[in-house]
Structure 1
Amino acid sequence: MRVFVKSLHITAALFLLLMLNSSLVASATNSGTTYELTKWQMEWASRPQAPAPGTEMPSEIADGQAWTTVDGSQGRMDLPPGISAAWSRMIIPELHFTSPSLYIKTLYALHVKVFVDNRLIFEGDRSFIKDNYSLLLPLDSGDSGKMLYIWTETLQDRIGIKDKVVIGEHSELINNYVKSGLMDVILGSAFIFVALVLFVCVFYLNQAYFSSIVALAIVIFSTGVLSITYSPFIYTFYSYLGNVSIVMLDIALLSLLPSLTFLFERIFGSGKCAVIRRFRKFQVAYSLFCLAWLVINGLSGNRFVEFYYFISTNIVGLILIVQFILLIACVIIFSVKGNKEAIIFAIGFGTAALTGAVELIWYYVRKGDYDLVYWKWALVVFIMSLIVILGRRLMLNHQMVIKYSRELELFNNELQRSEKLEIISELAASVAHEVRNPLQVTRGFLQLLGGKSHGAEKKYLNMAISELDRASNIITDFLTFAKPEFEQISVLNMNEEFHHIESIMLPLCHLSNGKMDLNVRGELWVKGNSSKFKQAFINIIKNSIEAMGEDGHIEIMAYGEGNKVHIHIRDNGEGMEPEVLNRLGEPYFSNKTKGTGLGLMVTFRIIEAMQGEIVFSSKKGAGTESITTLPLAERPDASRSL
């Protein structure tokens, strides 16, 4: 649990660090002057017109008459059918820089050649389907007014410069060049680190959460890999890793989709008609199908690259949109039902799904002339919500374990008490009657002898009779404990019962220099046996009287609340320590010199037989209070009153 919480803290810290770094990058501005070229000319070309290997530009291109002016602010031109290559050209403005450079943030192509007049200054050729180039090309001060030619070739549906061309000081433009896509790499690395932490944590958590945590780790890891491999940073500075990056991107995407659906299923269930489970199985099958074609295309030397691109990009994009819509609909249903986890999930996933769906739809509307940008940051919110949900579940599970442990301890104590009570019950039932009869006979003979005795002899006989009476009372307590059921049950008027108890115990209270106050609010009725009821509360009051000191005071209060009767007996006696308080009612436990512990034990059994419960609270030196709760009964005339 602690390891998981630490991973959550690390995730939050990394997220804040990334947001801070992003704001610093966004706030960084160039102090120098730059030129932005938003218009240039384009000419469509076929493969035979591609420049031959070498450093010279074909002369027929410069003399061509089919150039069309393009405004970059209006978006790129649509690629005509059957055309896979194009030329772009622009005049380099007057260069007033120490080290002039030309920066193109986004150029769509697989094969690129850049010429200044007849001089080749850049050439790039990619054997993998990643057509996003970012170029920083150094220029000479003598290139002012010369014509810049860019030849581009592709296998996809977009080609050429996306927005604009920037010309400025090399030392300033290189900052933008290096930072292009760098945040994606940092964000993806943070995701991968968090996923690895979760993979380690999973071995220290309850096995019931193993599959959920693993699925979450795969989702986070896949998101990190997608963020890194989708970034132009890798293909710009580590182009030799291009093929590996494309493969990793596809594997990550094909792992993310079913893992996300499985995690949703683990949190919220399979949904109506098991639609979530069925969709997840379809995703697993389709992902395996795409992975199989990935292997086939790789082994065949990219002979099936166009078909593979169609099934792994276009179709998967549509499946992703369907997944977003399906999960959002399920989340809305669960949220309406008041599921707190669904509300948290709705916030995170709703942000990610809405952002992803809008970007994908816009990608298809623009026919591929759009790079997905915001989905990574929306996924940060979503992953945080997943971590919060699983963390909340672990916390609730931990609380339930603590609760069950406490209840188990209480049940164990109650079981031990029940076992002790059962032993005493069996002992009392088997011995009490046999012992009581000889005691009564012996007491009768002692009374006869006492009537004929005088002086010290009579005194000793009276002491013997007193001790026999005490033994008889103990036997009576045993019998009451062994058989707490009432032979006669009636509806008892609490006012009458407690006034009778008061008349019995008040003289004893006065002998101890104490006072007793009785307060019975309203007419209260309970079901039980009158003699047993009196015995139970006489035992409690007697203990309070014996615990009193000078200026002792006992307060008896009874009132009705709902369908219960509450009886409070409070004294200002010497009180009890917590360890003594916890043992009240145990057989043979008493803090009095001649006590047997049977009095309170019998009281507990009588209250229990009346379907009630009794609780003691005490503080050493501040007195003791007992709170007895009994079911409220109806008046004998069937009218109920408090």
Structure 2
Amino acid sequence: MRLFARILHLSVVLFVLCMACGVLQASAEGRYGSTEITNWQMKWGSPDGETGREVPLADEQGWMEVHALQGTPELPKGISSAWTRITLPENGYTSPAVYINTLYALHVKVYAGDRLILEGDRSFIHDNYSLLIPLSTQDNGKTLYIWTETLQDRIGIKDKVLLGEHSLLIKDYSKNGLVDVVLGGAFLFVAIVLFVCSFYLNKEYFPIAASLSIVIASTGILSITYSPFTYTFFSYLGPLSVVLFDLALLSLLPALTFLFEKIFGSGKRGIIRRFRKFQVVYSMFCMVCLIVNYLSGNRLVEFYYFVSASVIGIIMILQFILLTACVVLFSLRGNKDAITFAVGFGTAAVTGAGELVWYYIRQGNYDLIYWKWALVVFILSLIIILGRRLALNHQQVVKYSRELELFNNELQRSEKMEIISELAASVAHEVRNPLQVTRGFLQLLSEKSSGDERRYLFMALSELDRASNIITDFLTFAKPEFEKISLLSVQDECKHIESILLPLCHLNGGKMVLEVAGNLWVKGNSSKFKQAFINIIKNSIESLGEDGSIHITAYAKGDKAFIHIKDNGSGMDPWVLSRLGEPYFSSNKTKGTGLGLMVTFRIIEAMGGEVRFISTKGAGTESITTLPLAEAPDGSGSYEAKLV
């Protein structure tokens, strides 16, 4: 209870402290909260050009009212400069400052009355200024005069102006565009890692990974070099940033089309490939214009701006339309990659195309904002597609490895079978003849012998018969073709096999259950058919323990006959199961030569069927034999039958 009381007391104290801090923060914000200025006046400069040295303090002609919600007014033709005057309200700030989030101009001068307090001049094409103008307490209630000059189609203040404490406004000033720089840096890091990893991929995926890394890196550079943070705090890098922005944009468009082509193909009549080639040629043309403009000291800046901004924007809209149409077609066909690409690219395309259209409607009086976040979604979709491709490739490699292992095992088995077949064919006949002669003489001797001598001769005859059976197995394996092929009733054959092996099954303490469908026919040799299944059933009988049983089932399914022989014997380990059918390998180490199952496999194979075994140690074994069905003798052709 004491511990609970202390925790409750501590919680109450923390709650009171938090409430007190909240009140203090609210009072501080109320005392030093910023003041929004949403109205000011603008006056166009003279057509002959103006330097902004003389402040129009007494000139009251030509001024027009501007509201923050209306944006910047349209710049008249032939005019490249303008004056903006902002009347500062009375305030009690200790260190006052004016924060202008977005000001369109290339050359800026700010006056408090007739006193110059700030000047900025850019020799590169990036007209987005973010200004924090510190003031003195003597500037309270004065009018700010801002002279702006540009070479583009927009000029002036875009949004509201804030007047407040310098210590508070500097936070917004320093954070303006910082997220774009962080996002761009993350893109560049991911692009570098992906590009390095692409060298470890096979040749099929290297172009996809490399082009994707170019797309991601270009997006990162665009995000950094488009951010006002770069030009506000690293203005000396402005010319380089503009060049990098153009190069990134000119690399992004063809790389994106190339990536799309590698993933989905060149499209109908090679339209995607042709568009990609056009983009490459046009990007190279823009790069040449960039170099020429730089060498000429920006004398061709207006022409370069037209080919690298206005025309490129139209090409981007066409690209979005083309790739979106192709993605929709692929998605309708059920392509999973196309669906993923459609989600990502659709987000980027709709956002980018919408912002570009709005940019042209506003005649350039708009900053593209949402495109980079849409590209995040798009890049994630591309990474997902590449990851899925690599995962599928890995699955195929694993699949091919397993198939290759099975093929090697089958090849080794075939080589062994071929060696044994040749050996059996060449030796069996030569060995059988002297064995038969020897057996004949021993049988004559046994008739004239008695006692132990006769018993020994009977043992010799038994071993000779065993050797003859082994030779017969060899001959069956070496020549599994049947001299006489006929229609066999599976039911009749299985009943005959049951009658042969049932006494042996009872002798081993087991029972045999037969469930075979009637009207089930196959083609083959009766004696060979019996030999094959007797070998299987004998192995089952030898594995039985107490209360053992063998269940024989046969039925038709499709155009195949299925024969199951299932026992509840001792079962086999997986390694034993994998070696069944090998010569001289017996699943029972105390009995057999391993030739029986080898002959069984060869007979069933010659009949056009196959045998497979399912076994669990201690739970029994099941053999499943499939054979091609044959048409019934009455010509009915019916393969379906009920169990009898």
TM-score range, shorter chain: over 0.9
Residues 548-627 of structure 1 mapped to structure 2, 5 A cutoff: 548-590=544-586, 591-627=588-624
Percent identity of paired positions between Structure 1 and Structure 2:
71
Once the two structures are TM-superposed, the CA of residue 305 in structure 1 deviates from its matched residue by 0.9
Counterpart of 2:631 in structure 1 is: 634
Once the two structures are TM-superposed, the CA of residue 522 in structure 1 deviates from its matched residue by 4.4
In structure 2, give the amino acid aligned to 1:155: L
Q: Which of 451, 463, 467 does residue 463 from structure 2 map onto? A: 467
Q: Confirm or deny: 8 A CA contact 2:47 2:78 kept in the other structure.
A: no
In structure 1, what is the Cα distance between the partners aligned to 2:130 and 2:437? 115
In structure 1, give the amino acid aligned to 2:455: K
TM-score (norm 1): 0.92
Q: Structure 1, residues 164-202: CA drift from partner, whole Å, max 9, x if none?
A: 211112222111111111110010000001111112212
In structure 1, what is the Cα distance between the partners aligned to 2:154 and 2:547? 100
Q: Structure 1, residues 29-67: CA drift from partner, whole Å, max 9, x if none?
A: 966432222221111113655246xxxx52556324111
Q: Structure 1, residues 448-491: CA drift from partner, whole Å, max 9, x if none?
A: 33333333332222222222211111111111101112222222
Residues 1:30 and 1:432: Cα distance change in structure 2 (over 3 Å)? farther
Query: Relative to structure 2, which stretch is displaced further, 508-517 or 571-580?
Result: 571-580
Q: Confirm or deny: 8 A CA contact 2:57 2:113 kept in the other structure.
A: no
Q: Confirm or deny: 8 A CA contact 2:71 2:157 kept in the other structure.
A: no
In structure 2, what is the Cα distance between the partners aligned to 1:566 and 1:41? 95
In structure 2, give the amino acid aligned to 1:331: V
In structure 2, what is the Cα distance between the partners aligned to 1:580 and 1:49? 97
Once the two structures are TM-superposed, the CA of residue 74 in structure 1 deviates from its matched residue by 1.7
Residues 121-160 of structure 1 mapped to structure 2, 5 A cutoff: 121-160=117-156
Counterpart of 1:4 in structure 2 is: none
SS at match of 2:199: helix
Query: Relative to structure 2, which stretch is displaced further, 323-332 or 137-146?
Result: 137-146
Q: Which of 107, 112, 120 does residue 108 from structure 2 map onto? A: 112
Residues 194-273 of structure 1 mapped to structure 2, 5 A cutoff: 194-273=190-269
In structure 2, give the amino acid aligned to 1:603: T
Q: Structure 1, residues 549-593: CA drift from partner, whole Å, max 9, x if none?
A: 233221112222233222221222222222222111001112343
Residues 1:331 and 1:30: Cα distance change in structure 2 (over 3 Å)? farther
Once the two structures are TM-superposed, the CA of residue 162 in structure 1 deviates from its matched residue by 0.9
In structure 1, give the amino acid aligned to 2:472: T
Counterpart of 2:377 in structure 1 is: 381
Query: Relative to structure 2, which stretch is displaced further, 335-344 or 509-518?
Result: 509-518
SS at match of 2:626: strand
SS at match of 1:207: coil
Q: Structure 1, residues 57-108: CA drift from partner, whole Å, max 9, x if none?
A: 5255632411111222122211111111111112111122121111111110
Counterpart of 1:310 in structure 2 is: 306
In structure 2, what is the Cα distance between the partners aligned to 1:133 and 1:576? 81
Counterpart of 1:85 in structure 2 is: 81
Query: Relative to structure 2, which stretch is displaced further, 377-386 or 446-455?
Result: 446-455
Residues 1:524 and 1:66: Cα distance change in structure 2 (over 3 Å)? same
In structure 1, give the amino acid aligned to 2:515: N
Residues 12-27 of structure 1 mapped to structure 2, 5 A cutoff: none
**What RMSD, in angstroms, separates the aligned Cα atoms of the two structures?**
1.6
Q: Which of 165, 169, 179 does residue 165 from structure 2 map onto? A: 169
In structure 2, give the amino acid aligned to 1:613: E
Q: Which runs of 4+ in 1 moved over 4 A?
A: 29-32
Q: Confirm or deny: 8 A CA contact 1:95 1:141 kept in the other structure.
A: no
Counterpart of 1:353 in structure 2 is: 349
In structure 1, what is the Cα distance between the partners aligned to 2:439 and 2:273? 83
In structure 2, what is the Cα distance between the partners aligned to 1:487 and 1:613? 21
Asked whether 1:489 is paired with 2:504, we answer: no
In structure 2, what is the Cα distance between the partners aligned to 1:46 and 1:38? 26
TM-score (norm 2): 0.92
SS at match of 1:58: coil
In structure 2, give the amino acid aligned to 1:319: I
Residues 1:522 and 1:114: Cα distance change in structure 2 (over 3 Å)? farther
SS at match of 1:533: helix
SS at match of 1:204: coil
Q: Structure 1, residues 305-347: CA drift from partner, whole Å, max 9, x if none?
A: 1111111111111111111111111100110010000000000
In structure 2, what is the Cα distance between the partners aligned to 1:360 and 1:318? 9
Q: Structure 1, residues 354-400: CA drift from partner, whole Å, max 9, x if none?
A: 11011001101110011000000000000000000001110111111
In structure 1, what is the Cα distance between the partners aligned to 2:345 and 2:29? 37
Q: Structure 1, residues 129-154: CA drift from partner, whole Å, max 9, x if none?
A: 00001111112222233221111110
